[in-house]
Amino acid sequence: MTTVRPAEAADRPAVLRVVEAAFGPSEGPQVARLVTALADAGHVRASLVAVGVDGEVVGHVQLNRSWVDAEPALVEVLVLSPLSVAPDQHGRGTGTALVAAAVAEAERLGAPVVFLEGDPAYYGPRGWSAAGPLGFTKPSVRIPDAAFQAVVLPGREDWMRGALVYCDPFWALDCVGLR
């Protein structure tokens, strides 16, 4: 059984190991650099870890500040990225627990919407839906329409529609669009 809790500074090496393992040798190092760059740039609003019974970090999820370019004003929103689960923990509910905790934390933080790029077959049953029909435009043509997903939270008002604008580290490290 895993427990989800806020990440602590001492968890950082374990978090980066889990991220690298989860994304594999070709993408893992780049995604780990993204985690670090988002933190260094001050865009992380929440970082949560899943720990096993032995206290070892087995999963991680992060919520990062970005914006929706709505007609009346920019709206600060959150982007769930990345979600990482150690390969030997797949199928045990770790990812589901992390996603649920991230959405709850986003609501607690007052975010109106949370976005992600991901597989609708995985995220759909966990409450996510295509963001386009909700009035949002994806930030890159490299994101398949079905993968551009959102969870609308109680703080969203109807005028909060428009293009999602990722914060700089996503662009600087070319971590936009599913590969």
pLDDT score of 20: 97
> Does the residue 98 lie in any domain?
yes
Tokens of 61: 């999820």
> Does the residue 116 lie in any domain?
yes
Rounded Cα gap, residues 35 and 3, in angstroms: 21
> Does the residue 30 lie in any domain?
yes
Q: What are phi and psi of 149, to 5 degrees?
A: -125, 160
Question: For the segment 66-96, what is each residue's pLDDT rounded down to a tens digit?
Answer: 999 999 999 999 999 999 999 999 889 899 9
Give residue 49's domain range: 3-172
Question: In 3D, which of 78, 74, 93 has the Cα closest to residue 131?
Answer: 78
pLDDT score of 91: 86
pLDDT score of 177: 82
> Does the residue 124 lie in any domain?
yes
Give the count of domains, the chain. 1
DSSP strand E in the chain: where?
3-6, 44-51, 57-69, 74-85, 113-117, 129-130, 136-137, 148-152, 162-165
* 10-residue averages of pLDDT along the chain (179 residues): 92 97 95 96 98 94 98 97 94 94 98 96 96 97 95 96 96 82
- CATH code at position 123: 3.40.630.30
